[in-house]
């Protein structure tokens, strides 16, 4: 019998797998539509806008639809949108499709994080970090596949189409048995007419700042690592690519193996240690005299940001001032804004003050996250069923 958290892990993996298939073929989509980089960037904003809409308005709908229906609609729906995009003849249609995909992705984010938190309470074991680790693993796997598929000159329509079929088959096997995990005993229910729009409140602010620190670090690693290596050291593409590999590899490993560590030492101690590692890594990148020193720094910030956001999600879901779905959606909303806007802002810093300075610019946010680490120590609610095997 498939354990409930394994179904959540699979949804995270499949979503990243399908999105990564599209992102790996964006150059082909760009070429087919005849877009320059600026136009491509504007087109991709559609997904960000859609995500923010559903994160703001979708919390109560996720509660109403339930875990299984929401998982079916969002995982298969996003994958269908990504498979459809290479067939579309205009950037306007792609923008609209990405908007729909973004709406579904926001609902998926709320649903899977809620289920992971409720399953943690049900089995009395942490699974949130592993869930996000499967998202990272999905991207890692699809990146490897995408590079080889492009090298083999397989059409983008075939690539994304096969990814869609794989996701549909997996969903038909894994999701029919998915059930709603019990709400935590002291969870605040959704009352009719309340919390129609999910926005951060003062109680959630410390967790938002911690999430901002994590996503700023992640943005510097994903979006700027290869550019940094090329600009700062003039290395070959292979050596430059090692920085991104080190970052994503350590982030994935950190998430997949963190849950037992968090259970033993507590979320505050783990987050404080990881953010400290991230701070040292960012400083190391900012002053690195040699490319391999910088690669070590990228590995450190990958590990350092790996589990901070999942820990913040768990703490947000366990707050009792508002329904869990509202707090999770509000935290994700702020984090997504930083994830999409952070890299361009850091690019502005790099353009005017040098790319090394952009890595030093994240340090004040990391320090703020360290100071607010106590917000992660939400009191664990009594488990509905203890002793289950994870």
Over residues 115-164, the pLDDT tens digits come to 999 998 888 889 999 999 998 898 888 877 887 887 788 999 999 999 99
Take residue 119 and report the two structure tokens written for it.
Answer: 């399953």
Q: How far apart are CA 151 and CA 163, in angstroms?
A: 17
Q: Which of 54, 53, 35 is nearest to 43 (CA)?
A: 35
Q: Is the pLDDT of residue 384 over 50?
A: no
**DSSP 8-state class, residue 197:** S
For residues 29 and 94, the answer to whether their CB atoms sit within 8 Å is: yes
pLDDT of residue 194: 57
Per-residue confidence band for 386, with pLDDT thresholds at 50, 70 and 90: very low
Q: Which of 132, 274, 299 is nearest to 213 (CA)?
A: 274
Tell me whether the CATH fold assigned to 4-174 matches the one assigned to 202-257+265-376.
yes
Q: Which of 99-103, 159-163, 238-242, 365-369 has the lowest mean pLDDT?
A: 238-242
pLDDT of residue 244: 82
Q: Which residues, other chains included, contact 348 with Cβ-Cβ below 8 Å and sequence gap of 6+?
A: none
pLDDT of residue 121: 87
Q: How far apart are CA 221 and CA 319, in angstroms?
A: 30
For residues 30 and 95, the answer to whether their CB atoms sit within 8 Å is: no
In which residue are the tokens 């029919």 written?
Answer: 176
For 272-325, what is each residue's pLDDT tens digit? 999 999 999 999 999 999 999 999 999 999 999 999 999 999 999 888 888 888
pLDDT of residue 196: 62
Q: Which of 332, 308, 328 is nearest to 316 (CA)?
A: 328
Q: Which residue has the higher pLDDT, 108 or 38?
A: 108
For 12-60, what is each residue's pLDDT tens digit? 999 999 988 888 788 788 888 888 766 777 787 888 889 889 988 888 8
pLDDT of residue 206: 94
For 164-210, what is each residue's pLDDT tens digit? 999 999 999 999 988 888 877 766 665 555 556 677 888 899 999 99
For residues 104 and 242, the answer to whether their CB atoms sit within 8 Å is: no
Q: Is the pLDDT of residue 390 over 60?
A: no
Find the mean pLDDT for residues 64-73. Answer: 92
Take residue 115 and report the two structure tokens written for it.
Answer: 């289920």
In which residue are the tokens 């505050």 written?
Answer: 268
For residues 81 and 104, the answer to whether their CB atoms sit within 8 Å is: yes
Q: Which of 55, 355, 99 is nearest to 208 (CA)?
A: 55
Q: Is the pLDDT of residue 379 over 60?
A: no
pLDDT of residue 187: 62
Q: Is the pLDDT of residue 326 over 60?
A: yes
Q: Which of 42, 43, 56 is nearest to 331 (CA)?
A: 56
Q: Which residues, other chains included, contact 194 with Cβ-Cβ below 8 Å and sequence gap of 6+?
A: none
Per-residue confidence band for 382, with pLDDT thresholds at 50, 70 and 90: very low
Sequence spans of domains, the chain: 4-174, 202-257+265-376
Which CATH fold would you assign to the domain 4-174? Answer: Growth Hormone; Chain: A; (1.20.1250)
The packing angle between helices 4-24 and 77-84, to 10°, is: 10
In which residue are the tokens 């049900």 written?
Answer: 122
In which residue are the tokens 């968090």 written?
Answer: 262
For residues 5 and 131, the answer to whether their CB atoms sit within 8 Å is: yes
Compute the radius of gyration of the chain from its Cα atoms. 20
CATH of region 202-257+265-376, choose from 3.40.50.620, 3.20.20.210, 1.20.1250.20, 3.40.640.10: 1.20.1250.20
Q: How far apart are CA 131 and CA 14, in angstroms?
A: 12
CB atoms within 10 A of CB 195: 18
Q: How far apart are CA 216 and CA 212, in angstroms?
A: 6
Alpha helix locations (H) across the chain?
A: 4-24, 26-33, 37-57, 59-65, 67-71, 77-84, 91-123, 128-151, 156-174, 205-233, 237-257, 259-265, 267-287, 291-306, 308-317, 324-353, 355-360, 363-371
pLDDT of residue 192: 52
Per-residue confidence band for 388, with pLDDT thresholds at 50, 70 and 90: very low
pLDDT of residue 381: 46
Q: Is the pLDDT of residue 389 over 50?
A: no
């Amino acid at each position: 019998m498939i354990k409930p958290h394994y179904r959540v892990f699979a949804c995270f993996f499949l979503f990243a797998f399908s999105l990564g298939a599209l992102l790996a073929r964006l150059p082909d989509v760009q070429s087919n539509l005849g877009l320059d980089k600026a136009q491509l960037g504007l087109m991709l904003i559609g997904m960000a806008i859609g995500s923010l809409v559903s994160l703001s308005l979708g919390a109560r709908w996720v509660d109403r639809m339930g875990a299984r229906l929401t998982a079916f609609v969002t995982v298969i729906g996003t994958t269908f949108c990504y498979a459809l995009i290479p067939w579309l003849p205009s950037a306007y249609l792609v923008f609209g499709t990405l908007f729909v995909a973004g709406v579904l992705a926001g609902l998926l984010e709320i649903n899977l994080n809620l289920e992971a938190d409720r399953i943690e309470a049900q089995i009395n074991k942490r699974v949130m970090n592993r869930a996000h680790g499967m998202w990272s693993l999905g991207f890692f796997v699809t990146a490897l596949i995408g590079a080889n598929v492009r090298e083999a000159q397989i059409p983008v329509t075939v690539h994304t189409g096969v990814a869609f079929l794989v996701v549909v088959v997996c969903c038909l096997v894994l999701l029919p048995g998915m059930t709603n995990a019990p709400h935590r005993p002291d969870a605040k229910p959704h009352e009719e007419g309340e919390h129609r729009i999910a926005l951060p409140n003062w109680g959630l602010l410390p967790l938002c700042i911690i999430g901002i620190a994590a996503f700023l670090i992640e943005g510097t690693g994903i979006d700027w690592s290869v550019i940094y290596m090329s600009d700062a050291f003039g290395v070959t593409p292979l050596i430059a690519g090692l920085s991104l590999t080190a970052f994503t590899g350590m982030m994935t490993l950190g998430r997949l193996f963190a849950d037992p560590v968090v259970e033993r030492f507590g979320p505050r101690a783990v987050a404080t240690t990881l953010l400290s590692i991230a701070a040292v890594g960012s400083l190391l990148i900012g002053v690195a005299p040699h490319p391999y020193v910088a690669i070590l720094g990228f590995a450190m910030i990958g590990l350092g940001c790996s589990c901070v956001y999942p820990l913040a999600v768990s703490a947000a879901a366990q707050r009792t001032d508002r329904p869990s779905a509202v707090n999770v959606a509000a935290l994700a909303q702020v984090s997504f804004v930083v994830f999409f806007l952070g890299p361009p802002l850091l690019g502005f810093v790099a353009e005017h003050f040098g790319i090394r300075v952009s890595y030093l610019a994240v340090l004040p946010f990391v320090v703020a996250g360290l100071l607010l680490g106590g917000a992660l120590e939400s009191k664990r609610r009594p488990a509905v069923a203890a002793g289950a095997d994870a």
